[in-house]
Amino acid sequence: MRVRIEDPADPRLDDVRDLNHSDNRPDLPGGKGLIVAEGPLVVSRLLASRFPVRTLVGFPSKLDAYLAEHEVPDDVDVYEVSREVLADAAGFDLHRGLLATAVRAPEPTVDDVLAKARTVVVLEGVGDHENIGALFRNAAGMGVDAVLFGNGCADPLYRRSVRVSMGHVLRTPFAHLEGTHTTWQRSLAQLRDAGYRLVSMTPAGEVTLAEALVDEAGAPWGKLALLVGGEGPGLTEHAMRATDARAMIPMAPGTDSLNVATSAAVAFYERDRSLRHRSV
């Protein structure tokens, strides 16, 4: 039902209150915030996702335009607000004027994720929300089926990750591997048992990326897990030791390694390329 709200202090706006600090919600399960989608594209991806949507909030004109073209389930509260009221509640000016919030649904299990995937990426120590978002955008764009989180990664459902991913964190399945920074690597055995070839991405790789993604006959690995570490430290030795190969993107001398989301994009591209062209 669509309701106009004039008072920024109205408790019905609590889902979009103080959005710069909205990820800390001790009142919600897990103590984490709701999922917040901004703009029509990401709002639609949230509505189509596995996450139960609670509210849709927008300027009158933005709501009109959105609702004229999209179905919104009856159990979603729709709140019409002025730009000033929304800015006051959210804590800053949201010029896009359309937001939706959803509850964090439980993650699928690692087994569930692996059962339906051919290519997965495994992240370790990727602590930056923008990099996580960009990684999901690149993964979705180039046909990576799922994302697995090792230790030390940022929250993919944080508002900035959702935005930078263009909503792909809401669509691409992901799950967390258990363990601490020195034990999570053991769960990589689960991937090997499921038939995955494990390839570490590292500037100190022994083979080129193109070589690492095919077998000796030049055929692409049927199932592939690409491991990517955070910018700076990269993958731990412990993680790389649990993989089958260490692959590098060839770099010009005297330059710096690529941004983590960019090097992942190159790896995703090479994976897709190996499946299309079937030769190095």
Region from 22-30, 60-68, 84-92, 263-271 binding a copy of itself, contact rule CB under 8 A: 263-271
Residue 272: alpha-carbon gap to chain centroid: 19
Region from 3-11, 66-74, 110-118, 262-270 binding a copy of itself, contact rule CB under 8 A: 262-270
Both tokens of 134, joined, read 């960009």
Region from 95-103, 120-128, 151-159, 267-275 binding a copy of itself, contact rule CB under 8 A: 267-275
Cα dihedral angle (17, 22, 28, 29), rounded to 10 degrees? 160
Region from 87-95, 140-148, 153-161, 179-187 binding a copy of itself, contact rule CB under 8 A: 140-148
Of 141, 152, 173, 179, which lies in the binding site for a copy of itself, with binding defined by CB under 8 A?
141
Best CA proximity match to 57, nearest among 71, 43, 41, 73: 43
Q: Considering the complex, what minimum distance in angstroms separates the CB of residue 28 from a copy of itself?
A: 30
Q: Give the Cα separation of 271 and 168 in Å (integer).
A: 19
- Mask for 59-98, x = binds a copy of itself (CB under 8 A): ----------------------------------------
Both tokens of 135, joined, read 């990684």
Non-local (6+) Cβ contacts of 80 within 8 A are: 2, 3, 4, 5, 58, 59, 60, 63
Q: Considering the complex, what minimum distance in angstroms separates the CB of residue 130 from a copy of itself?
A: 11
Q: Considering the complex, what minimum distance in angstroms separates the CB of residue 277 from a copy of itself?
A: 6
**Site membership for a copy of itself, residue 261 (CB under 8 A):** yes
CA distances to 100, 112, 254 from 40, rounded to whole Å, are 9, 30, 43
Residues pairing with 124 in the sheet: 229
The angle formed by the CA atoms of residues 133, 173 and 205, to the nearest 5 degrees, is 65
Crossing angle for the helix pair 40-47 and 60-69, nearest 10 degrees?
Answer: 50
Of 22, 44, 131, 138, which lies in the binding site for a copy of itself, with binding defined by CB under 8 A?
138
Complex with a copy of itself: residue 245 or 266, whichever CB lies closer: 266
Q: Give the Cα separation of 147 and 48 in Å (integer).
A: 19
**Site membership for a copy of itself, residue 143 (CB under 8 A):** yes
Both tokens of 96, joined, read 């896009």
How many residues at the interface with a copy of itself, by CB under 8 A? 32
Binding to a copy of itself, residues 240-259 (CB under 8 A)? 249-252, 255-259
Count other C-beta atoms under 10 Å from residue 87's C-beta.
15
Complex with a copy of itself: residue 127 or 141, whichever CB lies closer: 141
Site residues for a copy of itself per CB under 8 A = 134, 137-138, 140-143, 166, 168, 208, 210, 249-252, 255-259, 261-262, 265-266, 269-270, 272-273, 276-277, 279-280
